[in-house]
Structure 1
């Protein structure tokens, strides 16, 4: 089993974005010291939910501050950037980190980002498969990439530096699961769905057409993690802290067109997260992850540790998870 941290760079009320980004790097350093296998960094734009607009940039900074821990993006949004430009960044990170980098990509959402960056709603709705194929060509290690599709048309160029990388694809819908399966790419499943939904997506992936023997392994599942002396204490403290972040944070998702803004009952959402993820005593956290692994077949988890808000308490959460939960999982 592999356990990593999922760094959102969450900005709680009263905090300054630059400080949050600096402290996000501290979380990766602390995770390496605590024994985590990797750290995956989220990308968001124009919102307090997460204040890191470039996961690759933050991963580069973290690579310079660490020596062992794996680094990944969860995710770099492919609908708002050119796949060759993203491939160049990924190749650089692969070489500069000594091979520790994994590129995670996703379709994103129908958000205002599409308007601001000029890629448009069509790239989100119809262009993800084409974008993914251009990215894969650029990361094939062959050096050359060209395109003659609907969204990308350019003569062959040689990628410098070149690298052979296998991206992970964030999947929240059936069509994206089928896209990932058809290309033999592992899935990244979000923290907003429970074990039954994750297991169904893994089953759908297995059932999709893949030109290989059984399809690849290596799916990754995200969740929330918080360790306390008791499960009741952990749940209570996250129920008190997380709404202050999630309320204004989730309001930052602004649609690019006239569709209704997505809404959630924040308290119900927090309750759901604390029930399905490793939130509680060390023993409860370990049991929750082992149960999820048994139900879904997934053995690589990345846990969001920032839910308690205050930076020193987040660092303590990382330390306790490493000292108390990871040894239970190892046994």
Structure 2
């Protein structure tokens, strides 16, 4: 087994469970299960699963609407790899039910394996009032969730069927947000920070903001990666997929939608890869790019997305294996003296 760690940087895998229009929900979920089992055998530390409920990105979308159920299933099929939500869309949930859910998953999976990423999600149609409502509700729920998991909710224990005081699980709660108020709250509660897949050029400043606000919890980020035998082979594989995705893709923010409109449907491949934040190349190229990015951001963990519509599952799985066997050792060599070992 390859232990997927490099220097002080922990590595995980990230599954959007995206499939193109006409793709099978059942086949997509089955692929996620198989690839998670492979990720465990390769030594990755954690697998994260998104929650998606709408066709927000255009011609492809995520097929997992209930990541906690997927985690419950995988708890019985794996034994070591961490299992995380990235993220539970909590603005319309109840804190006690979410805590009960997380504690039950921890009992099923075993101590230390469940990681709970939470976020507000996107407002339908980009409505500013709905966006603020979701952010406000997420701040309230995050505070309540922390109190419940740390046993600091007087009077609630007698009301609840599940004994949910589990401080060690509270230490594995992460927020995914650009809302400075939620970041400040996460810093105060000693929660971790999940930095999203897109906007890689902004990630370093986002992490600096979290640390400036007093955040001491672990920071993890997601990046799209494709690794192949060499740079030319990686580009050949990714180029048609990237161009097709770009034509189908609806950016999640108004500013990015304006950028895409300005760039048009056929910008140079390098521009498309930059817009997606996609790291593509042979092992040495990918390792160097990861080290540069992770060092700039001061990451504790990097969670890699390999599977995309247009890349056959077996090719994505091979890239995941190559990253573990050929890229991470190079990252370890480059980073061993630059990051402190982590224990989270």
TM-score range, shorter chain: 0.7 to 0.9
Which stretch has the larger CA shift, 199-208 or 136-145?
Answer: 136-145
User: Structure 1 residue 69 and structure 2 residue 74: aligned?
Assistant: no
What is residue 43 of structure 1 aligned with on the other side? 51
Q: 1:7 touches 1:41 (CA, 8 Å); kept in 2?
A: yes
Q: Hey, what does 1:24 align to over in structure 2?
A: 32
Matched with 1:106 is 119
Q: Distance in 1 between matches of 2:133 and 2:151?
A: 25
Which aligned pairs between 1:105-124 and structure 2 lie closer than 5 A? 105-111=118-124, 123-124=133-134
Q: Which runs of 5+ in 2 are unaligned?
A: 1-8, 334-344
Find the aligned partners of 1:108 and 1:87 in 2 and give their Cα distance.
Answer: 19
Q: Aligned-pair distance for 1:12?
A: 2.6
Alpha-carbon distance in 2 for matches of 1:233, 1:310: 15
1:49·1:248 contact (CA, 8 Å) conserved in 2? no
**Corresponding position of 2:209:** 204
| d(CA) in 1 for partners of 2:126, 2:74 | 25
CA distance in 1, matches of 2:126, 2:33: 25
Residues 172, 121 of structure 1: alpha-carbon distance in 2 compared, 3 angstrom cutoff: closer
Aligned-pair CA distance for 1:34: 1.6
2:295 and 2:256 map into 1 onto residues whose CA distance is 36
Give the structure, 1 or 2, with the largest relative contact order (CA under 8 Å, sep 6 or more).
Answer: 2
Match of 2:139 among 129, 135, 141: 129
What secondary structure, in the 3-state scheme, does the structure 1 residue paired with 2:61 have?
coil
Do the aligned partners of residues 270 and 95 (structure 1) sit closer, same or farther apart at CA in structure 2, a change above 3 Å counting?
A: farther
Matched residue pairs, number? 306
Which residue does the alignment assign to 1:322? 324
Find the counterpart in structure 2 of residue 230 from structure 1: 230
Structure 1 pair 309–206 and aligned structure 2 pair: CA distance change class (3 A):
same
User: How many Å separate the matches in 2 of 1:235 and 1:27?
Assistant: 23
TM-score (norm 2): 0.79
Cα shift at 1:21: 0.8
Shift of the 93–250 alpha-carbon distance from structure 1 to 2, 3 Å rule, reads farther
**Partner SS for 1:80:** coil
Deviations 1:166-187 (A, max 9, x none): 2100023433322322322111
The CA distance in 2 between the partners of 1:261 and 1:2, in whole Å, is 30
Q: 1:261 to 1:328 in 2, by over 3 A?
A: closer
Distance of 1:59 and 1:82 partners within structure 2: 19
**Correspondence for 1:5:** 13
2:199 aligns with 193
Decide whether aligned partners of structure 1 residues 249 and 113 sit closer, same or farther in structure 2, where only a CA change above 3 A counts: same
1:227 and 1:281 in contact (8 A); partners too:
yes
Change over 3 Å in CA distance of 1:267–1:239 after alignment to 2 = farther
Instruction: List runs of 5+ in structure 1 lacking aligned partners.
Output: 115-119, 147-154
